Structure 1
Amino acid sequence: MKFQPDRIDALAIQAHGPGWLVIAGQRYESSMIVGADGRLEPWPCARHGDLTAAHFDALATDGTEVVIFGSGERLRFVHPSLLAGLIARGIGVETMDTMAAARTYNILAGEGRRVVAALLIETGVK
């Protein structure tokens, strides 16, 4: 049996830990949006309690089929009203802690799915 490393043609999350992510060789210590289509940008939210519907509406792009929401170091759901815009567009939403969201994003992106990950890295929280 021949083993070969997985090759992801989409933007991949290469490493992660509490409070940080490595994407495309760059370390990030704040919330990020990562898309299989190459989208990589800061997600302007530093605390779970500060999330609004606008934060989630900004994730909807043409062709996105699923959003993976990484809720921080532990699993925390947001009020369904914050996700209403995504759901109304027919975009699926899955919530998990940020570490699990990073791994799930890589799997879905590697399968060629049109996925966006919104990864919350809380800053200034003790």
Structure 2
Amino acid sequence: MGTRARLPSLIRSLQKEAQPKPTCQQSLPSLRRAFSLYDQINLIDNVPNDQLRFQRYTDSGFTVNGVDYEGSLLCVGNMLMSWAPKKFSEITPDSLSIFQTVRPVPEILILGCGRYIEPVSPELQRFIRSTGMKLEAIDSKNAVSTYNILNEEGRIVAAALLPYGISS
């Protein structure tokens, strides 16, 4: 058998090898479930460089992506700004007026009240609803955790945060 005669059989054998083998339809288990809790925390900490991640809070500020910030902060998506209110009573529709122009509108505003959860005035509730956002008012410690989780999920989220040391 000459070289020309073997060529078609060689091509057929290569085509058979190149065809994908049937794959199992069962989904693979999540890798996160296979690691310890410590490993899960490390996996969660590996966020993209352009994504905000609160790493620590103090009585006077926050650590975000390795940078320490003093005072109140306003976060919209992955944008971080200094925010004027120094205590809960200074949080007004005017202090949150940026949300009248921000697009896309965040689905939720997480309001970090400081050390304790504070009741939100009906006026402020109406203003936040008028922007199209939902409101979650919680202590700042839980506010930064909630922000991290929702932001990591890719949700459009905003946070207005007073330092944890602030109380009424």
Deviation at 1:11, TM superposition (A): 1.0
**Does the 8 A contact of 2:108 with 2:156 survive in 1?**
yes
Q: 1:124 to 1:116 in 2, by over 3 A?
A: closer
**Partner SS, residue 58 of structure 1:** helix
Partner of 2:58: 17
Q: What letter is aligned with 2:121?
A: H
Indicate the larger mover: 1-10 or 26-35. 1-10
Structure number with greater Rg is 2
Partner of 1:30: 71
Q: Give the one of 49, 60, 63 matched to 2:89.
A: 49
**Does the 8 A contact of 1:21 with 1:28 survive in 2?**
yes
**Partner SS, residue 62 of structure 2:** strand
Q: Deviations over 1:60-119 (max 9, x none)?
A: 521211110000111112202113222012211100001110000000001100001110
Partner of 2:128: 86
Q: Which has the higher helix share?
A: 2
**Partner SS, residue 86 of structure 2:** coil
RMSD of Structure 2 on Structure 1 (CA): 2.3
**Does the 8 A contact of 2:93 with 2:124 survive in 1?**
yes
Q: Which has the higher strand share?
A: 1
Q: Deviations over 1:41-64 (max 9, x none)?
A: 011111112222111232452121
Unaligned runs of 5+ in 1: none
Moved over 6 A (4+): 122-126
Q: Greater relative contact order (Cα 8 A, min sep 6): structure 1 or 2?
A: 1
Unaligned runs of 5+ in 2: 1-33
Aligned residues: 125
Distance in 2, matches of 1:80 and 1:8, equals: 37
Distance in 2, matches of 1:92 and 1:111, equals: 17
